[in-house]
């Protein structure tokens, strides 16, 4: 069975290389969002790009911001299961700061170049021992995509619960702290635990 895997904001398939899975893991590469494209329309394009709607039996895995995309894809298709890691299932699970920032439209005023944090700040926020991997991923990040993704995260509206959901969160995640009674907690797991605690 295929599991379509969607990495986090600015990340790519490298975050999945430490996982051991008994199914075919198909990393979904980010495509360039269209101007003012919604997260739902973007998800529809990924479904078409990877032929997900043509699969008889498949799973969806999403990490961090990729979990939002995984949720939207799962609502539009019929996966056997959905796995969210270091992510959220609904808007209510986002922190109050993220919601307020979304309403303020502040992201529109921030130049893309300011969305690239220093390596030290990134390592602190992601909480990883794999410094070289994180630095390499950050160096390859498309800042235009980052701005689009942050805006969509801040303004995400989803309130729908997913059937057959497995949600995994780290107890020390600083970016998207785990919420909800349906979360499987990983002790001392941080936002980059897809790598550090694979």
Rg (CA), the chain: 16
Contact assessment for residue 5 and residue 61, using Cβ atoms and an 8 Å cutoff: yes
pTM of the predicted protein model = 0.88
Concatenating the DSSP letter of every residue in 26-59 gives EEEPP-PPPTT--HHHHHHHHHHHTTGGG-SSEE
3-state DSSP assignment of residue 183? strand
167 vs 47: CA distance, rounded Å: 21
pLDDT (0 to 100) of residue 42? 97
Residue-by-residue pLDDT tens, the chain, 198 positions: 999 999 987 678 889 999 998 999 999 999 999 988 999 999 999 999 999 999 999 999 999 999 999 999 999 999 999 999 999 999 999 877 665 655 566 566 565 555 566 667 667 777 777 777 777 777 777 878 888 888 898 889 999 999 999 999 999 998 899 987 889 999 999 999 999 999
Q: Where are the domains of the chain?
A: 2-196
Ranges of H-type helices in the chain? 39-49, 65-76, 96-104, 119-126, 131-139, 143-154, 193-196
Q: DSSP character for 163?
A: T
Contact assessment for residue 160 and residue 75, using Cβ atoms and an 8 Å cutoff: yes
Q: What phi and psi values does residue 127 have, to the nearest 5 degrees?
A: 60, 65
CATH superfamily of 2-196: Alpha/Beta hydrolase fold, catalytic domain (3.40.50.1820)
pLDDT (0 to 100) of residue 103? 58
């Amino acid at each position: 069975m295929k599991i379509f895997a969607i990495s986090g904001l600015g990340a790519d398939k490298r975050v999945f290389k430490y996982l051991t899975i008994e199914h075919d893991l198909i990393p979904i590469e980010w495509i360039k969002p269209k101007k003012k494209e919604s997260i739902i329309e973007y998800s529809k394009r990924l479904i078409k790009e990877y032929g997900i709607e043509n699969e008889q039996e498949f799973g969806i895995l999403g990490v961090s911001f990729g979990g939002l995309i995984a949720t939207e894809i799962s609502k539009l298709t019929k996966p056997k299961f959905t796995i969210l890691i270091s992510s959220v299932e609904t808007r209510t699970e986002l922190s109050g700061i993220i919601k307020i920032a979304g309403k303020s439209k502040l992201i529109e005023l921030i130049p893309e170049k300011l969305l690239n944090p220093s390596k030290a700040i990134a390592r602190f926020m992601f909480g990883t021992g794999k410094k070289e991997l994180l630095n390499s991923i950050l160096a390859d990040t498309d800042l235009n995509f980052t701005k689009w993704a942050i805006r969509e995260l801040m303004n995400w509206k989803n309130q729908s619960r997913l059937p057959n959901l497995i949600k995994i969160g780290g107890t020390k995640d600083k970016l998207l702290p785990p919420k909800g009674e349906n979360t499987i907690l990983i002790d001392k797991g941080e936002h980059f635990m897809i790598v550090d605690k694979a």
